Amino acid sequence: MAGAGKSSLGKKLAKHFDFNFIDSDKLIETVENKSLQEILENRGIEKFKKIEEAALLSVKFNQTILATGGSAIFSKDAMSYIKNNSSVIYIEVCFEKILDRISNFSDRGFVKASHQTIQQAFNERVDVYRDFADHIVTNNADLESCFKKILRII
């Protein structure tokens, strides 16, 4: 989910282990030469999901930390590929913390149905995130605490 700390934690872990770091959102923006929001607005949710899936399936897991976009879980193929080639850590954050961290979702390239609220999209995703996770780590406090929790489990 947006605001969970995936990118910040991913960069920190990659630096700690001297691994490569890939942020799939940034990868998509580079390949498409557009922001996530522009892709969603110009090409629609279904095309965005296909672009995201292709980006995720292109990742080579060789000493690599991958921070996926929050909507990665909508592609079973991509998530199966990730799970078969790495360990998946779900960074769990309560909805209230997400709102504290993200003040405006309208320009973030956030995938949700037009009729959904942010909270409904959050609620829809939680169980799916949990289902794909090899490990679940809570990040409701500071980044350093979450980083230390991850180091203890990997």
**What pLDDT digit, counting tens, does each position of 34-80 carry?**
999 999 999 999 999 999 999 999 999 999 999 999 899 999 999 99
Q: Structurally, how many domains does the chain consist of?
A: 1
Residue 106's pLDDT band (cuts 50, 70, 90): confident
- What is the four-CA torsion angle of 37, 88, 77, 56, rounded to 10 degrees? 40
Distances 33 to 41, 43, 90 between C-alpha atoms, Å: 14, 13, 28
The answer, as to whether pTM is greater than 0.75, is yes
Determine, yes or no, domain membership for 105: yes
- The per-residue DSSP string of 82-135 comes to HHHHS--EEEE--HHHHHHH-S--TTTT----TT--HHHHHHHHHHHHHHH-SE
pLDDT, residue 107, reads 79
pLDDT, residue 152, reads 97
For the segment 81-90, the average pLDDT, to the nearest whole number, is: 97
Which structural domain range is residue 135 located in? Answer: 6-146
Determine, yes or no, domain membership for 122: yes
- Chain length of the chain: 154
Determine, yes or no, domain membership for 153: no
| pLDDT(99) > 90 | yes
Determine, yes or no, domain membership for 136: yes
| pLDDT(108) > 90 | no
Q: What is the CATH number of the domain that holds 108?
A: 3.40.50.300
**What pLDDT digit, counting tens, does each position of 130-150 carry?**
999 999 999 999 999 999 999
Determine, yes or no, domain membership for 25: yes
Q: Are the beta carbons of 91 and 139 closer than 8 angstroms? A: yes
Determine, yes or no, domain membership for 104: yes
Determine, yes or no, domain membership for 151: no
Determine, yes or no, domain membership for 63: yes
